[in-house]
Structure 1
Amino acid sequence: MKNRWLIAASAIGIHLSIGSIYAYSVMTNPVKDIFSTDAAAIKWAFKLAILFLGLTTTFLGKWVEEQGPKKSGIAAGLFYGTGILGAGLGVHLQSLPLFYLSYGVLGGIGLGIGYMAPISTLVKWFPDRKGLATGLAIMGFGFSALLFGPLMQGLFEQVGVAKAFFILGLLYASVIILSSLYLSYPPADYLPKGFHPEKVISAQVNTDSINSPDAALKTHRFWFLWTLMFINIASGIALISAASPLMQEALHFSPLKAAAMVGIIGVFNGLGRIFWSSLSDYTGRLPTFIFFFLFQSLAFYLLPNTGADWTFLLLLFVIVSMYGGGFAILPAFVSDLFGVKHMGVINGRVLSSWALAGIAGPTLYDIVKAETGSIQTTLGVFSVMLMAALGIALLMWFKVRKTRGDKVKHLFSPKLENVG
């Protein structure tokens, strides 16, 4: 039997590679100079990649489950690697449409398949620590900017932008495909050593009526969760996509220093995924989300009003950790709300929120910033959105409790016993 920790390591390898998209702000200025256009035009490749990521998780979730993690992972490596190589060709030919098609469409499809491939696999290998397991893999997605942000900047300066894309495309494809070769589902009767399911006080809602992924779409809890993810993603990704230019403007950082800070953002994006998802195994998924929105609604308001660089950066890092934490908590949250059987497909459909938020968040940021010229007003708009999300999370608490009563009390404060 395969080692489940090596399964987790393989999942991290895949997510570490596709997570390089979070270093996109590092390439914004070098690429826009080549195409002689503005940053907003270049960011459309990023938006398209997130759009096609979400569309892929929505419509190919069942296909990924049927093919299994190994074949799906290999497909992800081919799509993502080809997308980055094509983006390099677009830069070389100075063809912006080819850049959009390669990075946004092909790369986005690779992102979506690569994101899904290991997740349900890990939940099956780690029934005793669902939050921790998915957090480990998705942590790699967040940590990626720490590695690839400075690497990108260095390659741009040493070999040029087009050649940098060629090198990175081959690197990503190789790591993703090699990592995928070890992935597989556990045996049907698999239980981790020392894990006794009968001694676990369930954190799961009654899911008897969820006999198909389509049934989940008819529940209010699906749409509550979808909306919470949309707002959390839109707010976080708006900051991440503008991080390097924002720090150069607000804190007067050099491009190299801003790129280094993007790397540190990647640390908090990654740490947030493992920290918040592991914490949610004990505090409950929904209380963790409620705290996210309470803190972020205040942080977005305070961010442009700070009087010191370190305060600005601290708030930024915590916001990014909560952005990453939302993704890491989601698979376990979906499992709690809808059961394990259709978790992969339902999780993919919730991630359709990512497709829309990936365009809505950065676009809203760009529009408000362009119209007002004010970082304070721009971030204030997101603060209001996050306050609305806080209200929705509290309504979800009330509605689910009222509907299911004592059956869901551990969704909000799970108690795990003897889970090895």
Structure 2
Amino acid sequence: MTKTRIIAGIELGSTKIATLVAQIGEEAITGEASINIVGASQSESKGIKKGQIVDIEETVDATVASVEAAERMAGYSVEKAFVAVGGAHVRSQNSHGVVAVSSPEGEITEGDIDRVVEAASAISLPASREVVHVLPREFVVDGESGVKDAVGMSGVRLEVDTHIVTAASAALKNVRKVVSEVGVEIEDLVFAGFASGEAVLTPTEKELGCVLIDIGGGVTSIASYVDGALAYSGVIPVGAKNVTNDLAIGLRVSLETAEKIKIVLSGKKKSDESDEIDLESLGVTEIRKISKKTLLEGIIRPRLNEIFTMVKIELEKEGLMGKVPSGAIITGGGAETVGIVESAKRMLTLPVRIGTPQGVAGLIDDIMNPSFSTVIGLLKYAQRLTPRENLTSFGKKLKLPTKGIFGKIVSSIKDLLP
């Protein structure tokens, strides 16, 4: 009988709170089969602004609704989950570590890898910040660089270049409190941009160099890869909700109406040559007809141009603009905004494509779109971390009807270093 493990991912976003429950088996871990989604749910986000929790109680209620719906669909209780971390407080830096190889024979072991990564992670941080990820970029053995896996190699001096993602301790504490009150233990916290990259980027894109741009409701996450490894992580405090706000102000309509107009405009086919959009059929009363060109050129495009200009400034500051020949991959709910590819190409002067999640099977009809990249990426991250010997039951069979969330309240979180 094939062993399987139940894993779950939770994304606490500014627009939606998404929960996915999936099965992974031996085939998934060896890459021969995809992750099998057995439960999927999203609820309207409450208590979260620009990627940060501003109301614990509201966020708990919205998360409970999302998790319980996914549990009912899956038939499993969510006891542990991988949780995405976002918000403008997320920052990154690169660090270098050096150790002497411990074995007298000079063969590098897992213990040496742990020690050199630990040495690289010993960075000076203010008390208000903490480490989310320490990701090895490359190892150097006796001066020979470009080593991706040093275990088993011979040498006397081992070095590592790492990418370290940090976040505000207060923001992480709020995330832990919300997930704890929902009754779920946090398996690991994962930077949202890194998670999205796991879901939509190809190994070739990472190797050649690319930049992932995840446009969420409140913020835009950036993850830039060079030589197959993460080189820069960051967040800018502008997202798809800003486009909706601009439409509401420019047209003098409600936010709900502005969102409807944005969705209709984004869903229109290029072959539709009509410039006018009839809004009466949508039940919109404030305005009857609107020019598509006016919306795109006068309201939407300036905001998109601003987002990509801010992304370009970040990449130039890090010296990465010349190191991403594979171009920009745009994902997140904002990736479906009309005119986004053209705007990105113009502002970034890079090849651009829309990133859609890959490598999952099962109940995927409603989730194989850019808005679910982060939460699907959490499952891909979990899959990569799962050793074959750990394929045991991860969740318990759910006994319906449900009442509240099953699972233990987390009392502490494990060390965030890999």
Q: Which has the larger share of strand?
A: 2
Q: Which interval holds the TM-score relative to the shorter structure?
A: under 0.3
After TM superposition, the score normalised by the length of structure 2 is 0.24
After TM superposition, the score normalised by the length of structure 1 is 0.24
- Structure number with greater Rg is 2
Q: Which has the larger share of helix?
A: 1
Identify the structure with bigger relative contact order (alpha carbons < 8 Å, sequence gap 6+): 1
